Structures are given as C-alpha cells and as structure tokens.
Structure 1
Amino acid sequence: MSDTDQPGHVSEEAPAEVSVGRRLRRMRKNQGLTVAALGEQAAVSAGMISQIERGLSNPSIGTLERLRVVLGIPLTAFFEDRDDGAPATPAADLVRRADQRPFFQVGGNGMSKELLSPSGDHDLQFMIICVPPHTRSHDVMIGPGEKAGLVLEGRLTLTVDERATVLEAGDSFQFDSRKAHSVANESDESVRLLWIMHTKPQRAQF
C-alpha cells in the first residue's frame, strides 16, 4: 500500500502529520542521530526527513517503516502519546478503541489511513485506508512477509507482479509482500480498504 510518499478520530493534539513529525524528531534526537545519519541508515533522503519533522510532508507507511527499523521502535510509536509506543493503559496492547484510532494522511495524493492495531510492537499491523477517486499508491513497502486486505467500499485495482485484478466491495486478497505491488482507484467514488501487513521479525529489505 502506499505505503506512499475517511472516517476516523483526529487527535486534538495536532493534525496527525504534524504529530508524526514531532515524535520522529524527538526520537531521533533521543538516540543522538542527526538527520543525515538517520537518512543514510534508513535509505530516506535527509530532505524528506526534515520535511516530515517540520510537518511539511505526509510520510508513507513505507517511509515510516524504514525509519522505525533504524530507530528500533514499533510503527505505532509514531502515532502514540508515548515515544516508545508503550501501552498507555493496561489493555492498550490488546485493544484499539474505536474512538482512539490514529488518523493520518499519507503522501501527497489525498490517501488517508486509520490505524487499527493496538499499541506496542507487533509483527501484524492492520488499518483502514481511504483511496480517493483516480488515485494510485506509491512508495510501497516491499520486504519479507505477507499483505492482505478486504475491500469495504468501492472498486479497487490491485496489481501484483504486473498482474492487475479489479476487486469489488467484499472481495479479499493476500500475497507475498516481496512482490512488486500497488493499488489504484480508477473510479469516480472513494474506496475504503481494510489493509493487513505481516512483517518478519528481522530487518526489512527495501
């Protein structure tokens, strides 16, 4: 998924993209990393990291995955109140309440994501993605693991290894995430998609 570079609860703290940038900067500084050093290790340009930290760019899940691997934090740490992603309540590592879903924009094409995974470090991540009309994913995360999904609303085109398949509401899919893939909404109506990612507990390959 784009993992590029709508319904949901928006924190009063700040727009999600601003919160992500502020947390990224804090975690980077806590580990004594410069923007250049983090960028080199994560294979993300220093300019992109700087824009994310200043709230000028909406990072893709693929970009955040690269950054979180280097920082040694769970993906949810970018969206939680605590930098280390530790559960805020006793059940937060098991349950994500409907009114506490982090909601954030990704990339510059209007796609948005609503995180469903509970707090903490999990190999399995899932979310609801809203794909606006005539929008295609970019900067997808490719590496060991699997991805799967269920089209909740609309018509989606899924391409895996250059094989395109049109999916209707109610259709589901699953594939090896090492394969090149993308999703596209070629219709005039928005698509809502349940997206699931399982990553291997090892350094991701990009």
Structure 2
Amino acid sequence: MSTPLRPAAPEPPRVGQTLALLREQQALSLDELSRRAGVSKSMLSQIERAQANPTVAVVWRLANALGVPLAELLAEGPRSEPPAIVTVAAQDTPTFGGSDARCQLRILGPIELAGQFEWYQLTLQPGAALESAAHEPGSREHLTVLSGAMDVEAGDARARLKTGETARYAVDRPHAIRNPGRAVAQALLVVLHPA
C-alpha cells in the first residue's frame, strides 16, 4: 500500500523585502529602527537580505516599531498604496495614566514619531498632577489648556495657565503639570525631542 504524497509545505513569508520597503517609506535608518524595536542592527540587515528568519517575537517588535499590523510584515505579494487619509477610531486611541490615577494621557501622535515628536490629550481631575523626570537635553514641551486651569513647573520656574493659554518650556529637568482647580482640566501636550 502506498502512502499518499503530501503537498509541499509553503515557504515562510519573505519578511525581509517588506521590512526594507516599510523602513524606506518611513525614511528610517537601520540604526533608528534597531533602537525603536530593540533588535540589533546586524539582525535587521540579515533579515532584510533574507539571510535570517526572524522569530514571531522579533516580527512583533518590528511591526510595533514601524506602526503597522503584524500581518502586514507577514503578507505575501506587493503592498497596496496606503490610503490618502488614515483615521483612528476614538476607542482605538491608546490611553494611559500617569503615576497619579486621576491623570490620563491619550496618545494622538503616530508611533513612528515617538521619541522625536509626540502629542497627547491630557486630562487632569481636580488636584491631579502629571509629574515627570528630566528628558534628554534640549527637549521641550508645549502645553495648551483647552478647559480649566493648569500649573506648570519646570525646574524652579512656575506658571499658571487659563483656558486658551499656551506654555512652552524646557523639560531637560524634572517638571510637572497640575490641576489646581475644582473642575476637570484638559490640554494638548506636545513633546519635542532634539534631533
């Protein structure tokens, strides 16, 4: 009795080609992608040249660093052009709290700009504070209060902002944003990191 032949197993996805294309589209160097993904530059180079097969964990890190779904790195065939307008549903906007549970930050900026240019919607309950350690030298924040009032501290400097006002300040020192009022306060917070 003969054994039926099994169909040949499909080849694994060619992650390297897709990775190189995405990296080029986002104008990222191997160094920058290596830093963002926590994957060595030599490994990235080997993956792009199809000399190494990445683990699922590595592909996941790369997808997160590039701001694309995991399936996009694993997809076969040519990629379609990105849409002219990309929308993010409110429930899909990442949100996290600071050390103060009464503080909430919604991440409005795309992941690929993290570490360069970041922007957030900041919500502080009455008496809440967003306290931060010093960022790298040359970093600055821009805070525009949308409702309520906020106190800004940067090193020894202090300022109170009312609705509609903006503060720009260096954050290469410990800094904090506080809600001194009795109502919820909201603001847009932009963080600029040095190039």
> How far apart in 2 are the matches of 1:147 and 1:96?
25
Instruction: Give the equivalent residue in structure 1 for 2:130.
Output: 137
Query: After superposition, where does 1:1-206 map in structure 2 within 5 Å?
Result: 72-73=35-36, 82-88=63-69, 90=82, 97-99=88-90, 100-122=92-114, 123-144=116-137, 145-201=139-195
4+ residue stretches of structure 1 with deviation over 6 A? none
Decide which structure has the larger Cα Rg and report it: 2
TM-score (norm 2): 0.55
User: Is the Cα–Cα contact under 8 Å of residues 106 and 113 in structure 1 kept in the other structure?
Assistant: yes
Residues 193 and 97 of structure 1: CA distance in aligned 2, closer, same or farther (over 3 Å)? same
8 Å contact 1:132–1:191 — kept in the other structure? yes
Quick one: which amino acid aligns to residue 119 of structure 1? I
The Cα offsets for residues 30-68 of structure 1, whole Å up to 9 and x where unpaired, read as xxxxxxxxxxxxxxxxxxxxxxxxxxxxxxxxxxxxxxx
Q: 3-state SS of the aligned residue for 2:178?
A: strand
Q: TM-score, normalised by structure 1?
A: 0.52
CA spacing shift, 1:184–1:81, aligned 2, 3 Å: farther
Q: Distance in 2 between matches of 1:195 and 1:151?
A: 9
CA RMSD of aligned residues (A): 3.0
List alignment gaps of at least 5 residues for structure 2: 1-31, 38-60, 73-81
Name the CA shift for 1:157/1:96 in 2 (closer, same or farther; >3 Å). Answer: farther
Change (3 A) 1:91 1:153: farther
Q: Are the equivalent residues in 2 in contact too, given 1:86–1:119 (CA < 8 A)? A: yes
Unmatched runs of 5 consecutive residues or more in structure 1: 1-68, 75-79, 202-206
Shift of 1:179: 3.7
- In structure 1, what residue type is equivalent to 2:96? F
